[in-house]
Amino acid sequence: MAFTSIRPCPTLATQRHAVARPCAASGATARVVCRAHAQEQQQSLASQLLGGAAVAASAALLLLGPMAMDAQAVSGGGGISTPLDGQDLSNQDLRKRSFTKAVLRRANFSGSDLTGVSFFSALAESANFKGANMTLADLESGNFEDADFTDAILAGAFVNNAQFKNVNITNTDWSDVVLRKDQQMFLCKIANGTNPTTGVDTRESLICPN
């Protein structure tokens, strides 16, 4: 009786736990069967690798997601995508709002409580901040050209790299605001009056020279 020799099909070296299955034929037929078996192993290995990568990516997002959001908040990233040009936001408590990188041209914030609010890198040309409480507000890198700060309180505000060209700062309180020398000199040229709420002289709050 003649017996057909059984030879195992080769497995992929990278698939350590794969089990070789025999090819019950020889010659050309064996090569076809083994080739099909190898393709099957390759597909199985690819599926395993893709599945593992998906699980790892999901785990990374779960772990890093909150950290990424926190980092964005600290850096002032994000911002408001919808322009607020000309919006009436006057006489409101806006302390929980953020206007980071917002477009605020001609927006009206008069009389609003903006304590600690972020205007980081905001575009607030010609905005109205009359009588607003902007204590500890973040105005860094914002553009406030032609804005009106009459009677506003900016005590302790952060203004590094903010643009104040042609602003109105009559009766404003700048107590404890850290200013570059050029910013201070510019604001002192236009400073006048006394803040009606705090009673602080504007020029004194800017530490303007006599």
CATH classification of the domain holding 89: 2.160.20.80
Choice among 39-43, 79-83, 166-170 with the minimum mean pLDDT = 39-43
Q: Evaluate the CA torsion angle 41, 42, 44, 45 in order and state its sign.
A: positive
Burial class (CB in 10 A: 0-12, 13-18, 19+), 202: buried
Do the domain assignments include residue 175? yes
> Under 8 Å CB-to-CB from 177, ≥6 apart: which residues?
154, 155, 156, 157, 159, 205, 206
Longest dimension (CA), the chain: 120
The answer to whether residue 8 is domain-embedded is no
Kindly state whether residues 69 and 83 are assigned to the same domain. Answer: no
Residue type, 138: D
Check whether residue 86 and residue 180 sit in a common domain. Answer: yes
Same domain, yes or no, for 65 and 136? Answer: no
**Is there a single domain that holds both residue 125 and residue 71?**
no
**Would 210 be classed as within a structural domain?**
yes
132 pLDDT higher than 50: yes
Same domain, 155 and 88: yes
Q: What is the pLDDT of residue 82?
A: 74
Domain boundary residue, one of 47, 75, 103: 75
Q: For the residues 27-46, what does the mean pLDDT come to? A: 54
Q: How many structural domains comprise the chain?
A: 2
What integer pLDDT is reported at residue 36 of this predicted model? Answer: 52
- Identify the residue whose tokens are 């080769």: 10
The reply to whether 148 falls in a domain is yes
Lowest-confidence region among 33-47, 67-81, 142-156, 184-198? 67-81
Decide if pLDDT at 47 tops 80: no
Does 54 map to a domain?
yes
pLDDT of residue 148: 98
- Report residue 55's pLDDT band, with 50, 70 and 90 as the boundaries: very low
23 pLDDT higher than 60: no
Residues 97 and 177 grouped into a single domain = yes
Q: What is the mean pLDDT of residues 104-117?
A: 98
Give the model confidence (pLDDT) of 182-202 as tens digits: 999 999 999 999 999 999 999
CA 126 to CA 13: how far, in whole Å? 70
How far is 184 from 208, CA to CA, in rounded Å? 7
What is the rounded average pLDDT of the residues 33-37? 52
User: Mean pLDDT across the stretch 101-122?
Assistant: 97
- In this structure, the answer to whether residues 201 and 126 fall within a common structural domain is yes
Domain that holds residue 145: 79-210
DSSP state of 84: -
Are 42 and 115 members of one domain?
no
Say if residue 163's pLDDT is above 60: yes
Average pLDDT, the chain: 78
Residue 7 pLDDT greater than 70, yes or no: no
Domain assignment of residue 207, yes or no: yes
Q: Report the first-to-last Cα separation within the chain, whole angstroms.
A: 120
Contacts within 8 Å (CB) and 24+ apart, 86-90: 90/128
Note the Cα 167 to chain centre separation in Å.
28
Query: pLDDT category, 63, cuts 50, 70, 90?
Result: very low
* Per-residue pLDDT, 43: 65
Q: Are residues 119 and 63 in the same domain?
A: no
Question: Is the whole model's pTM more than 0.85, yes or no?
Answer: no
Judge if 127 and 35 occupy the same domain.
Answer: no
Please report the pLDDT score of residue 83 as a whole number. 87
